[in-house]
Amino acid sequence: LIHSLSLTQLEVLPNALLCVSDTDGIIEWLERGVEGSEIQEVAARKGVILDGGVEVVVLGKGEVLCPGMIDTHTHAPQYPNNGLGQQYQLLEWLDKLTFPREAMFADVEYARRIYDQVVKRNLNAGTTTACYYGSLHDESTRVLADICDDKGQRAFVGKCCMDRNCPPTYTETTESCISSTKSWLSHFDKFTSPSSSDSGSGSDQSVPSPPLVQPILTPRFAISTTPEVLAFIGKLAHSRSPSIAIQTHLSENPAEVEFTKQLFPDCETYAGVYDKYDLLGPGTILAHCVHLDDKEREVISKRGAGISHCPTSNTHLNSGAADVGKMLRAGIKVGLGTDCGGGYALGILPSLRQAAGVSRFVSWSSAGSTASPSSCDAQPLSLPQLFHMATLGGASLCRLESRIGNFLPGKEFDALRIKPASPGMWTDDRDSPEEVFEKWLFTGDDRDVADVWVRGRRVGGAA
Ligand code: GUN
Ligand code: FE
């Protein structure tokens, strides 16, 4: 078992025995250092008799169990565009490729067909939790939420709010944005919390676990959203306790930053626009944040909002190289996002790899473009930091760090069984579990994800 305990601690547990409740998917206990021959005895000591009623999964040699991965920023209607558009920068890319594709999701049956594939393929790629932007369409976005619930993916699902600066074929009026956001939100009342009363081990018994599928308010970005809608969302978010989650884009591209400043001349910074409308809080996920200044990092940190780092997208759309080290040093929570289809790849692994690469370029250029890597003060992201961002860090952006993100008892079992199978992965019986795991992070893919569990239920995998 391999999991993250903090930004600096990646714990490797050879021969561990983990017990998951089949009533609520909660991890009841975790015993370290249990040999295969001791399974019966250790389980019995814990009060679990291994008869036919208990499912036992024994990892084969060279297999690894790790927590499910969390995609903190992606656009469900853009998956059919994955791989296109590297010749554009953000605003032109939105006009030429993205808005026309999203407009197609007015057709609910088309949406159903595409979203069914998006959720299935994401689960198989190891994404156990996803923060989805839908299109602006209320009904199609409800369909997305239902598909996540049916297939068992933990998800935040948002209807895009976009009532200005969008093409006439894909926009909404301020009134219809407000009324359809209210109507979309009411759909989520049907997703209820699992009953946790019969579990003996939940870490936080007094507060029921949130439903698997939750709403997330989604003002697309400041450019496409009027001040009326931004103010409406700020109020709506805080009308509940805990507040409703919010996701938006921030400071992705220089032309976007410039246009935003023109639209909101009274705000000193781009982050200041969201702060003015009360949109920055612990339940807010800010995607990209490539061009932040120190003041912006300070307000994001102070409000407890998190940043979704989307390095494949930032590279593909020529947005720039986000400095994650500066975010972390400012005390900001950071997770990883695919940003499909600004990013081109399914699943978090390509984002993790690109995050590693970009952090090296950032560290080299911070020391001057001709500097050798050894003379840099800024350090590239380490493997524990990268995997933390893919799991526990992502969980903290979703305010789920007490529920998921690693295998501590009391958390819900969202996990992947990695069994090397893809042709690019060279492993043999001389590899340690850490080496198999590291190779998978950098060379593997969904063919190596044998099983995927969310809240203890098997929901995908190649096995
Ligand atoms: N900014 C506003 N909308 C979008 C989007 O769909 N993708 C990205 N990457 N940035 C955006
Ligand atoms: Fe995005």
Report whether residue 247 contacts ligand 1, using a CB cutoff of 6 Å. Answer: no
For ligand 2, an ion, list residues with CB under 5 A. Answer: 339
Report whether residue 396 contacts ligand 1, using a CB cutoff of 6 Å. Answer: no
DSSP code for 225: S
SS3 state of residue 410: coil
Q: What's the average model confidence in pLDDT over 271-291?
A: 98
Q: What is the pLDDT of residues 248-263, one digit of tens each?
A: 999 999 999 999 999 9
Among 102, 125, 109, CA closest to 172: 102
For residue 345, the CA-to-ligand 2 centroid distance in Å is: 13
For residue 81, the CA-to-ligand 1 centroid distance in Å is: 13
Report whether residue 98 contacts ligand 1, using a CB cutoff of 6 Å. Answer: yes
Q: Where does residue 116 rank: exposed (0-12), middle (13-18), buried (19+ CB within 10 A)?
A: middle
> How far, in Å, CA of 357 to CA of 353, rounded?
6
For residue 225, the CA-to-ligand 2 centroid distance in Å is: 15
For residue 366, the CA-to-ligand 2 centroid distance in Å is: 27
ipTM of the complex: 0.99
Six token digits for residue 39: 């399974």
Domains of the chain, start order? 2-66+413-460 (2.30.40.10), 69-397 (3.20.20.140)
Report whether residue 446 contacts ligand 1, using a CB cutoff of 6 Å. Answer: no
Confirm whether pTM is higher than 0.90.
yes
Report whether residue 249 contacts ligand 1, using a CB cutoff of 6 Å. Answer: yes
Q: How confident is the model at residue 199 (pLDDT cuts 50, 70, 90)?
A: very low
Cα distances (angstroms) measured from residue 170 to each of 118, 161, 166, 167, 313: 22, 11, 6, 5, 23
Q: Which-ligand-closest: CA of 132?
A: 2
Q: What is the pLDDT of residues 424-441, one digit of tens each?
A: 999 988 999 999 999 999
User: What number does the ligand 1 atom closest to the CA of 75 have?
Assistant: 6
Q: What pLDDT score was predicted for residue 370?
A: 53
Q: What pLDDT score was predicted for residue 372?
A: 53
Report whether residue 243 contacts ligand 1, using a CB cutoff of 6 Å. Answer: no
